[in-house]
Structure 1
Amino acid sequence: SQKRRILSSLIEGELNSFGKDLASRLEKARRALEGNIAACGSALGLSASKLGASADRALFAGAERLAVLGASLNSLSPLKVFDRGYSLCEKEGQPVKSASALSKGDQITLRFADGSAEAEVTGVSVK
Protein backbone atom coordinates (compact mmCIF):
# COMPACT_ATOMS: atom_id res chain seq x y z
CA SER A 1 0.00 0.00 0.00
CA GLN A 2 0.96 3.65 0.53
CA LYS A 3 3.54 2.91 3.22
CA ARG A 4 5.11 0.19 1.11
CA ARG A 5 5.42 2.46 -1.89
CA ILE A 6 6.99 5.21 0.23
CA LEU A 7 9.36 2.73 1.87
CA SER A 8 10.15 1.18 -1.50
CA SER A 9 10.77 4.62 -2.98
CA LEU A 10 13.07 5.56 -0.07
CA ILE A 11 15.02 2.31 -0.40
CA GLU A 12 15.26 2.76 -4.16
CA GLY A 13 16.53 6.32 -3.65
CA GLU A 14 19.12 5.16 -1.14
CA LEU A 15 20.25 2.36 -3.45
CA ASN A 16 20.57 4.80 -6.36
CA SER A 17 22.53 7.22 -4.17
CA PHE A 18 24.74 4.38 -2.91
CA GLY A 19 25.28 3.16 -6.48
CA LYS A 20 26.26 6.64 -7.68
CA ASP A 21 28.60 7.09 -4.71
CA LEU A 22 30.15 3.68 -5.37
CA ALA A 23 30.57 4.46 -9.08
CA SER A 24 32.20 7.79 -8.21
CA ARG A 25 34.58 6.12 -5.77
CA LEU A 26 35.44 3.42 -8.30
CA GLU A 27 36.19 6.07 -10.95
CA LYS A 28 38.46 7.96 -8.50
CA ALA A 29 40.25 4.73 -7.60
CA ARG A 30 40.65 3.86 -11.30
CA ARG A 31 42.17 7.26 -12.08
CA ALA A 32 44.49 7.04 -9.06
CA LEU A 33 45.55 3.55 -10.10
CA GLU A 34 46.19 4.69 -13.68
CA GLY A 35 48.30 7.56 -12.30
CA ASN A 36 50.28 5.17 -10.12
CA ILE A 37 50.81 2.80 -13.02
CA ALA A 38 52.01 5.67 -15.23
CA ALA A 39 54.39 6.89 -12.51
CA CYS A 40 55.73 3.38 -11.96
CA GLY A 41 56.16 2.96 -15.71
CA SER A 42 58.17 6.18 -15.89
CA ALA A 43 60.31 5.14 -12.92
CA LEU A 44 60.85 1.73 -14.48
CA GLY A 45 61.89 3.31 -17.78
CA LEU A 46 64.36 5.58 -16.00
CA SER A 47 65.78 2.66 -14.01
CA ALA A 48 66.14 0.57 -17.16
CA SER A 49 67.94 3.44 -18.87
CA LYS A 50 70.32 3.85 -15.91
CA LEU A 51 70.92 0.10 -15.78
CA GLY A 52 71.72 0.02 -19.50
CA ALA A 53 74.17 2.91 -19.16
CA SER A 54 75.79 1.27 -16.14
CA ALA A 55 76.13 -2.03 -18.00
CA ASP A 56 77.69 -0.22 -20.97
CA ARG A 57 80.22 1.48 -18.68
CA ALA A 58 81.07 -1.82 -16.99
CA LEU A 59 81.54 -3.56 -20.35
CA PHE A 60 83.70 -0.71 -21.66
CA ALA A 61 85.85 -0.75 -18.50
CA GLY A 62 86.18 -4.53 -18.74
CA ALA A 63 87.20 -4.32 -22.40
CA GLU A 64 89.82 -1.67 -21.60
CA ARG A 65 91.18 -3.78 -18.72
CA LEU A 66 91.29 -6.85 -20.97
CA ALA A 67 93.20 -4.89 -23.63
CA VAL A 68 95.75 -3.70 -21.04
CA LEU A 69 96.18 -7.22 -19.65
CA GLY A 70 96.47 -8.64 -23.17
CA ALA A 71 99.19 -6.13 -24.05
CA SER A 72 101.00 -6.90 -20.80
CA LEU A 73 100.80 -10.64 -21.42
CA ASN A 74 101.95 -10.17 -25.00
CA SER A 75 104.98 -8.18 -23.84
CA LEU A 76 105.99 -11.08 -21.58
CA SER A 77 105.62 -13.70 -24.31
CA PRO A 78 108.82 -15.60 -25.14
CA LEU A 79 107.83 -15.29 -28.79
CA LYS A 80 108.18 -11.50 -28.55
CA VAL A 81 111.72 -11.99 -27.24
CA PHE A 82 112.48 -14.00 -30.39
CA ASP A 83 111.04 -11.16 -32.50
CA ARG A 84 113.65 -8.86 -30.96
CA GLY A 85 116.46 -11.08 -32.29
CA TYR A 86 117.06 -13.43 -29.38
CA SER A 87 117.17 -17.21 -29.68
CA LEU A 88 116.80 -20.22 -27.39
CA CYS A 89 119.39 -22.94 -27.10
CA GLU A 90 118.08 -26.42 -26.19
CA LYS A 91 119.92 -29.63 -25.43
CA GLU A 92 117.80 -32.81 -25.43
CA GLY A 93 114.64 -30.68 -25.41
CA GLN A 94 115.64 -28.68 -22.32
CA PRO A 95 116.76 -25.03 -22.28
CA VAL A 96 120.50 -24.52 -21.87
CA LYS A 97 120.94 -21.89 -19.13
CA SER A 98 124.72 -21.77 -18.99
CA ALA A 99 127.67 -22.32 -21.34
CA SER A 100 129.11 -24.68 -18.72
CA ALA A 101 126.19 -27.07 -19.40
CA LEU A 102 127.60 -27.72 -22.90
CA SER A 103 130.50 -29.82 -24.07
CA LYS A 104 132.27 -30.14 -27.40
CA GLY A 105 130.25 -32.46 -29.65
CA ASP A 106 126.86 -31.85 -27.97
CA GLN A 107 123.91 -31.72 -30.37
CA ILE A 108 121.80 -28.62 -29.73
CA THR A 109 118.73 -26.97 -31.21
CA LEU A 110 118.63 -23.21 -31.72
CA ARG A 111 115.11 -21.73 -31.80
CA PHE A 112 114.42 -18.41 -33.56
CA ALA A 113 111.28 -16.39 -34.26
CA ASP A 114 110.97 -17.90 -37.74
CA GLY A 115 112.14 -21.49 -37.10
CA SER A 116 114.95 -23.55 -35.63
CA ALA A 117 118.38 -24.93 -36.51
CA GLU A 118 120.25 -28.04 -35.40
CA ALA A 119 123.90 -27.53 -34.48
CA GLU A 120 126.89 -29.31 -32.97
CA VAL A 121 128.99 -27.60 -30.29
CA THR A 122 132.55 -27.24 -31.60
CA GLY A 123 133.88 -25.57 -28.50
CA VAL A 124 132.83 -23.99 -25.18
CA SER A 125 134.21 -20.85 -23.56
CA VAL A 126 133.16 -20.19 -19.94
CA LYS A 127 133.81 -16.83 -18.19
Structure 2
Amino acid sequence: MRSLHITYEDGLTQTSRSLRELLLVQVQRNGGVVAVAGKLDLSPSKLTEKLAGGDSGGKPRGMTIDELERYLKETRDISPIHYLIEKYMTCPDAQHAEAIAQFAALAAVMTPLAAKLGVKWP
Protein backbone atom coordinates (compact mmCIF):
# COMPACT_ATOMS: atom_id res chain seq x y z
CA MET A 1 0.00 0.00 0.00
CA ARG A 2 1.34 3.42 -0.95
CA SER A 3 0.88 6.59 1.00
CA LEU A 4 0.19 9.75 -0.91
CA HIS A 5 0.19 13.35 0.29
CA ILE A 6 -2.57 15.24 -1.53
CA THR A 7 -3.07 18.96 -1.74
CA TYR A 8 -6.57 19.63 -2.97
CA GLU A 9 -8.91 22.54 -3.55
CA ASP A 10 -10.75 22.95 -0.26
CA GLY A 11 -14.32 24.12 0.23
CA LEU A 12 -15.95 22.36 -2.72
CA THR A 13 -18.33 20.45 -0.46
CA GLN A 14 -19.50 23.75 1.02
CA THR A 15 -20.24 25.27 -2.39
CA SER A 16 -21.75 22.16 -4.02
CA ARG A 17 -24.17 19.71 -2.46
CA SER A 18 -23.26 16.88 -4.83
CA LEU A 19 -20.76 15.88 -7.48
CA ARG A 20 -23.46 16.49 -10.10
CA GLU A 21 -23.98 20.06 -8.84
CA LEU A 22 -20.21 20.67 -8.90
CA LEU A 23 -20.04 19.42 -12.49
CA LEU A 24 -22.83 21.83 -13.50
CA VAL A 25 -20.78 24.74 -12.15
CA GLN A 26 -17.50 23.49 -13.61
CA VAL A 27 -18.96 22.94 -17.08
CA GLN A 28 -19.97 26.61 -17.11
CA ARG A 29 -16.47 27.62 -15.96
CA ASN A 30 -14.92 25.50 -18.72
CA GLY A 31 -16.66 27.25 -21.59
CA GLY A 32 -20.26 26.17 -21.14
CA VAL A 33 -22.33 23.22 -22.24
CA VAL A 34 -21.63 23.64 -25.97
CA ALA A 35 -17.83 23.79 -25.55
CA VAL A 36 -17.63 20.90 -23.08
CA ALA A 37 -20.12 18.75 -25.02
CA GLY A 38 -17.89 19.07 -28.08
CA LYS A 39 -14.87 17.88 -26.09
CA LEU A 40 -16.85 14.89 -24.83
CA ASP A 41 -18.29 14.02 -28.25
CA LEU A 42 -21.84 14.61 -26.98
CA SER A 43 -24.57 16.90 -28.20
CA PRO A 44 -25.21 19.90 -25.91
CA SER A 45 -28.73 18.61 -25.20
CA LYS A 46 -27.40 15.16 -24.24
CA LEU A 47 -24.82 16.69 -21.90
CA THR A 48 -27.51 18.90 -20.37
CA GLU A 49 -29.66 15.83 -19.69
CA LYS A 50 -26.73 13.98 -18.14
CA LEU A 51 -25.84 16.92 -15.90
CA ALA A 52 -29.49 17.28 -14.86
CA GLY A 53 -29.78 13.56 -14.11
CA GLY A 54 -32.73 13.06 -16.41
CA ASP A 55 -34.43 14.12 -19.61
CA SER A 56 -37.48 16.38 -19.94
CA GLY A 57 -39.76 13.33 -19.77
CA GLY A 58 -38.34 12.30 -16.41
CA LYS A 59 -36.33 9.39 -17.74
CA PRO A 60 -33.11 9.02 -15.74
CA ARG A 61 -29.97 10.08 -17.58
CA GLY A 62 -26.61 10.36 -15.91
CA MET A 63 -22.96 10.61 -16.78
CA THR A 64 -21.23 7.28 -17.03
CA ILE A 65 -17.90 6.66 -15.36
CA ASP A 66 -16.30 6.65 -18.81
CA GLU A 67 -17.82 10.06 -19.58
CA LEU A 68 -16.58 11.44 -16.26
CA GLU A 69 -13.09 10.17 -17.04
CA ARG A 70 -13.27 11.73 -20.50
CA TYR A 71 -14.41 15.02 -18.90
CA LEU A 72 -11.39 14.94 -16.55
CA LYS A 73 -9.02 14.19 -19.42
CA GLU A 74 -10.40 16.63 -21.97
CA THR A 75 -10.99 19.62 -19.69
CA ARG A 76 -8.08 18.94 -17.32
CA ASP A 77 -10.49 19.96 -14.56
CA ILE A 78 -9.76 17.77 -11.57
CA SER A 79 -12.09 19.58 -9.18
CA PRO A 80 -14.49 16.59 -9.26
CA ILE A 81 -11.68 14.47 -7.78
CA HIS A 82 -10.98 17.18 -5.19
CA TYR A 83 -14.67 17.20 -4.29
CA LEU A 84 -14.67 13.43 -3.73
CA ILE A 85 -11.46 13.60 -1.68
CA GLU A 86 -12.88 16.32 0.53
CA LYS A 87 -16.19 14.52 0.94
CA TYR A 88 -14.95 10.99 1.55
CA MET A 89 -11.29 11.03 2.54
CA THR A 90 -10.96 13.69 5.20
CA CYS A 91 -11.42 12.54 8.76
CA PRO A 92 -12.99 14.76 11.44
CA ASP A 93 -9.82 14.61 13.59
CA ALA A 94 -7.69 15.91 10.72
CA GLN A 95 -10.21 18.67 9.98
CA HIS A 96 -10.20 19.67 13.66
CA ALA A 97 -6.39 19.72 13.81
CA GLU A 98 -6.27 21.82 10.66
CA ALA A 99 -8.79 24.29 12.10
CA ILE A 100 -6.69 24.62 15.28
CA ALA A 101 -3.56 25.26 13.21
CA GLN A 102 -5.37 27.88 11.11
CA PHE A 103 -6.72 29.54 14.25
CA ALA A 104 -3.24 29.64 15.83
CA ALA A 105 -1.78 31.20 12.67
CA LEU A 106 -4.57 33.76 12.61
CA ALA A 107 -4.05 34.59 16.30
CA ALA A 108 -0.33 35.12 15.65
CA VAL A 109 -1.20 37.67 12.95
CA MET A 110 -3.93 39.32 15.02
CA THR A 111 -1.73 40.04 18.06
CA PRO A 112 0.57 42.63 16.41
CA LEU A 113 -2.35 44.04 14.43
CA ALA A 114 -4.38 44.50 17.61
CA ALA A 115 -1.44 46.27 19.24
CA LYS A 116 -1.20 48.69 16.30
CA LEU A 117 -4.89 49.42 16.65
CA GLY A 118 -4.65 49.87 20.40
CA VAL A 119 -6.90 46.90 21.06
CA LYS A 120 -6.11 44.81 24.11
CA TRP A 121 -5.45 41.27 22.89
CA PRO A 122 -4.42 38.34 25.09
The reply to whether TM is greater than 0.5 is: no
Higher RCO, 1 vs 2 (CA within 8 Å, ≥6 residues apart): 2
Using structure 2 for the length normalisation, give the TM-score.
0.22
* Bigger Rg, structure 1 or 2: 1
Q: Considering fraction of residues, name the structure with more strand.
A: 1
